[in-house]
Amino acid sequence: MHEDIPGTVKNTRSKIDSSPAASIRGDMLRTTRWEELGNKDPRVPPAFVIEFSPDAHTSSACERYGIALPSQLHHAVAKRQAEFIMGRLAAHQAIERLGIAASTPGIGASREPLWQAGVTGSISHTDDIAAAIAVPAPTVTGVGIDIEKVPNAETRDAIRALALTPDEQRLMEARRGHLTTNMLLITGFSAKESFFKGVFAVVGRYFDFDAVRVSGLDADAGRLTLTLRQTLCPSLVEGRSFEVGFKTLARDTVATSFVW
Annotated binding site: 80, 88, 124-125, 146-148, 193, 197
Binding residues for CoA: 80, 88, 124-125, 146, 193, 197
Binding residues for Mg(2+): 146-148
CA dist 36 and 7 (Å) reads 27
Q: Are 146 and 131 in contact (CB under 8 A)?
A: no
User: 119-144: buried (b, 16+ CB within 10 Å) or exposed (e) per residue?
Assistant: bbbbbbbbbbbbbbbbbebeebebbb
Q: Are 126 and 149 in contact (CB under 8 A)?
A: yes
Q: Are 126 and 253 in contact (CB under 8 A)?
A: yes
Q: Are 188 and 146 in contact (CB under 8 A)?
A: no
N residues, the chain: 260
Residue type, 26: G
Helix, strand and coil percent figures for the chain, each rounded to 5: 30, 30, 40
What is the DSSP secondary-structure string of 47-86?
EEEEEE-TTS-HHHHHHHHT-PPPGGGTTS-HHHHHHHHH
> For the purposes of burial, counting CB atoms within 10 Å of the CB of 49, is it exposed (0-12), middle (13-18) or buried (19 or more)?
buried
Classify 16 as helix, strand or coil.
Answer: coil
Q: Which residues contact 177 (CB under 8 A, 6 or more apart)?
A: 218, 219, 220
Positive or negative: CA dihedral 230, 207, 253, 12: positive
